[in-house]
């Protein structure tokens, strides 16, 4: 077995976004089998000794943001925009050559930079680099541009066709759900390997410990309260209004709806609407994003910041009424922590998760009395609840564990090296 040097490339590897988290899981599996990972991005929280930080690779870099602003929402492109894209792509391509040379990279692992045009010059740079070098590439696609309305009207269709993703013979494409796999084949003629998002189900979930034991107290809940966890950002596609409606129907003052994440860069109008709705339904709605960070730590004043995984063990029930998800990491987390969960049957859930046989409380775009009654039963009936969560943990371990990822990566790397590397 010859260890490979793998170069992970994206706009950012930092924080708890899905791309950063899944990339870390891939790197961990590969590291366990002696392959060494190196990192290239515009924003990084990885070890600087094995990383190359190129600020222009980040989608929020001023030059890149200006290009994105001019590229979408209009049909005509100026000559100046074309020049900006090409000039920045040429610069980024040179940095890719430097990255590969500096760390003696054997295989590039491109994470989402060749499927969603958050940084058009980076996608173009990667495409040109791969075409010029015939470099072996694993292109891991989390989101495609055709899945997002904001990219539908644009003046860069030629770049999207060329680079998002490119059709080049040395690229192995990887998709995270079966719908994306079919769309990629239909639109681009590219076959892909389906690799679902995973969690380390073989390792028991963290429990309440000395640090996290006061989480309920810190968010103002008593031990008698029923903590309904909404472990998502506050954005419209998460369907949080359905969680509020659910608690309104249940009409139990012990129920507290706790939302873990902030709205991010999509504005706070939706959050204001949720607050008004909660007041109308007399639902106790709490946003605790200021108390939850990427990891636990103490502030300068000695107050605690908790991780999301400190919140899960305290939850009595999880709501996940998303309208759309690329996969659904929060759903896997609910299974992992043995929590009953309400799911809005979004498309990928119906095609890739539901057929496995998970026991959830499902809704089809709207709440019914029977859904609310089922939630009440799950909360009140411990034996029924335990049967449900134990069943889900067993199934998730079989279909979405690290062992699944290990088998998939073994085949992908072997396609390049000709040997069973994992």
User: Where are the chain's structural domains?
Assistant: 5-198+402-417, 215-399
- Give the position of tokens 């899981």: 25
Tell me the per-residue pLDDT of 213-256, one tens digit each, with 9 for 90 and over.
999 999 999 989 999 999 999 999 999 999 999 999 999 999 99
What is the structure's pLDDT at 17?
Answer: 78
The arithmetic mean of pLDDT across residues 135-151, rounded, is 94
What would be the CATH architecture of the domain defined by 215-399?
A: 3-Layer(aba) Sandwich (3.40)
Round to whole Å and give the CA distance between 308 and 310: 5
> Model's pTM, two decimal places?
0.87
Q: Which of 96, 131, 101, 132 lies closest to 9 in space, CA to CA? A: 96
Residue 198 predicted with pLDDT over 60: yes
Tell me the per-residue pLDDT of 157-174, one tens digit each, with 9 for 90 and over.
999 999 999 999 999 999
> CB neighbours of 57 closer than 8 A, spacing ≥ 6?
10, 11, 40, 41, 42, 92, 95, 119, 122
CA angle 330, 332, 333 (to 5 degrees): 60
Q: What is the CATH number of domain 5-198+402-417?
A: 3.40.50.2000
Tell me the per-residue pLDDT of 405-422, one tens digit each, with 9 for 90 and over.
999 998 999 899 887 655
Residue 355, judged by CB atoms within 10 A of its CB (0-12, 13-18, 19+), counts as exposed
> CB neighbours of 69 closer than 8 A, spacing ≥ 6?
none
Residue 15 predicted with pLDDT over 90: no
Residue 1 predicted with pLDDT over 60: no
Residue 323 in tokens: 């309208």
Residue 131 predicted with pLDDT over 70: yes
**What is the gyration radius of the CA atoms in the chain, in angstroms?**
23
Residue 392 in tokens: 């889900």
Helices 382-399, 329-336: crossing angle, 10 deg rounding: 120
Q: For the chain, what percent of residues have pLDDT higher than 70?
A: 98
Residue 353 to residues 239, 280, 346, Cα–Cα distance (Å): 19, 34, 10
Residue 266 predicted with pLDDT over 70: no
């Amino acid at each position: 077995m010859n260890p490979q040097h793998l170069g992970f490339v994206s706009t950012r590897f930092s924080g708890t976004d899905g791309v950063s988290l899944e990339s870390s899981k891939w790197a961990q599996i590969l590291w366990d089998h002696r392959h060494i990972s190196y990192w290239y991005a515009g924003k990084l929280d990885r070890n600087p000794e094995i990383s190359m930080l190129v600020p222009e690779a980040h989608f929020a870099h001023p030059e890149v943001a200006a290009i994105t602003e001019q590229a979408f929402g209009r049909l005509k492109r100026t000559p100046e925009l074309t020049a900006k894209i090409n000039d920045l792509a040429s610069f980024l391509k040179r940095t890719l050559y430097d990255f590969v040379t500096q760390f003696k990279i054997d295989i590039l692992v491109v994470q989402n930079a060749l499927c969603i045009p958050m940084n058009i010059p980076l996608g173009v740079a990667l495409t040109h680099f791969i075409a010029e070098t015939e470099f072996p590439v694993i292109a891991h696609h989390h989101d495609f541009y055709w899945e997002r309305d904001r990219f539908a009207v644009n003046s860069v269709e030629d770049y999207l066709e060329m680079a998002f993703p490119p059709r080049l013979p040395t690229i192995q494409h990887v998709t995270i759900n079966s719908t994306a796999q079919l769309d990629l084949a239909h639109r681009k003629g590219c076959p892909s390997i389906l690799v679902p998002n995973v969690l380390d189900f073989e390792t028991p979930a963290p429990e309440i410990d000395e640090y996290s034991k006061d989480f309920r107290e810190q968010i103002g809940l008593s031990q008698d309260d029923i903590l309904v966890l909404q472990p998502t950002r506050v954005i419209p596609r998460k369907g949080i209004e359905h969680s509020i409606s659910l608690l309104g129907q249940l009409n139990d003052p012990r129920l507290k709806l706790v939302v873990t994440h902030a709205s991010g860069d999509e504005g706070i109008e939706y959050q204001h609407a949720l607050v008004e709705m909660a007041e109308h339904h007399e639902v106790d709605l709490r946003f605790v994003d200021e108390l939850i960070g990427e990891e636990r730590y103490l502030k300068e004043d000695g107050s605690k910041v908790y991780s999301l995984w400190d919140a899960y063990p305290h939850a009595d029930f999880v709501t996940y009424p998303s309208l759309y998800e690329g996969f659904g990491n929060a759903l896997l987390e609910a299974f992992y922590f043995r929590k009953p969960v309400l799911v809005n049957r979004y498309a990928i859930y119906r095609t890739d998760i539901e057929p496995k046989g998970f026991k959830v409380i499902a809704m089809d775009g709207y709440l019914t009395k029977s859904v609310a009654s089922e939630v009440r039963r799950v909360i009140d009936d411990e034996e029924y609840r335990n049967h449900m969560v134990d069943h889900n943990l067993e199934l998730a371990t079989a279909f979405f564990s690290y062992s699944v990822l290990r088998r998939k990566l073994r085949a992908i790397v072997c396609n390049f090296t000709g040997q069973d590397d994992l």
